Amino acid sequence: MAIRKIILSGLILGTAATASIVGAQQKPRSSALYDSAREVTLVGTVVSYQLVVDKPPLGAHVVLYTSSGNVDVHLGDARFLAANKFQIQSGDSIRIIGENVSYAGGTQFLARVIQKGTQALVLRSVRGIPLSYAAPHKSAAPAPQGGAQ
């Protein structure tokens, strides 16, 4: 009977220790990862729009004047916006859904959805992965027209 209690206690302690090790190995979500549950909406006026910036994250950026001040927003690849005929100019009123994430020792607002008037464009997946521009493929040779003559 005493041996059974010792073995049972050992099994229980071993299971508890294993559970705590497994729990310790699971990393909590970092604020550096995009989490759509933390998204916020910015509404404001475009101060400036750059197709390319020389600092990370690379890609198009817009500086948006909001009630809280200016916010630098990363939009992703400018070719994606152009392919979807989404034009941005200084003075435009826009709405952006996105999130501030830790990036390169600071924070960066990453846009997931941008809206101007009735036009809206999804820029990132719900996991924060930027959608990319895919150039149309050129056909090697035009298909023959008509039948045998």
Q: Is there a domain that residue 8 lies in? A: no
Residue 65 is predicted with a pLDDT of 98
Percent over 90 (pLDDT), the chain:
57
User: Is the pLDDT reported for residue 137 higher than 50?
Assistant: yes
Mean pLDDT, residues 8-21: 40
Amino acid at 107: T
Q: How far apart are CA 27 and CA 102, in angstroms?
A: 16
Terminal Cα-to-Cα distance of the chain (whole angstroms) = 99
Q: Are 133 and 123 in contact (CB under 8 A)?
A: no
| Top-confidence residue, 110 or 55 | 110
Q: Is residue 28 part of a domain?
A: no
- 119 is written with which tokens? 């036009």
Position 113, amino acid: V
Confidence of residue 39 (pLDDT cuts 50, 70, 90): very high
pLDDT of 28 above 70? no
- Predicted pLDDT at 54: 85
pLDDT of residue 144: 52
The answer to whether position 136 is within a domain reads: no
Question: Is the CB of residue 52 less than 8 Å from the CB of residue 60?
Answer: yes
Domain hosting 79: range is 36-122
Position 103 in a domain: yes
Proportion of the chain above pLDDT 70, given as a percent: 68
Residue 107's domain is classified under what CATH number? Answer: 2.40.50.140
* Total number of domains constituting the chain: 1
Cα angle, residue 65 at apex, residues 46 and 133 outer, rounded to 5°: 45
Higher-pLDDT residue of 103 and 149 is: 103
pLDDT at 120: 97
Q: Is residue 108 part of a domain?
A: yes
Q: Is the pLDDT of residue 20 over 50?
A: no
Beta-carbon contacts of residue 3 (< 8 Å; ≥ 6 apart): none
β-strand partners of 112: none
Q: Is residue 7 part of a domain?
A: no
Give the residue carrying structure tokens 């549950």. Answer: 37
DSSP-assigned beta bridge partners for residue 23:
none
Task: State the pairing for strand pair 93-103/60-66.
Answer: unpaired
Residue where the block lists tokens 């924060």: 128
3-state secondary structure of 4: helix
Asked if pLDDT for residue 12 goes beyond 70, the answer is: no
Q: Is the pLDDT of residue 6 over 70?
A: no
Is the residue at 134 inside a domain? no
Cα gap 67→44, rounded to integer Å: 7
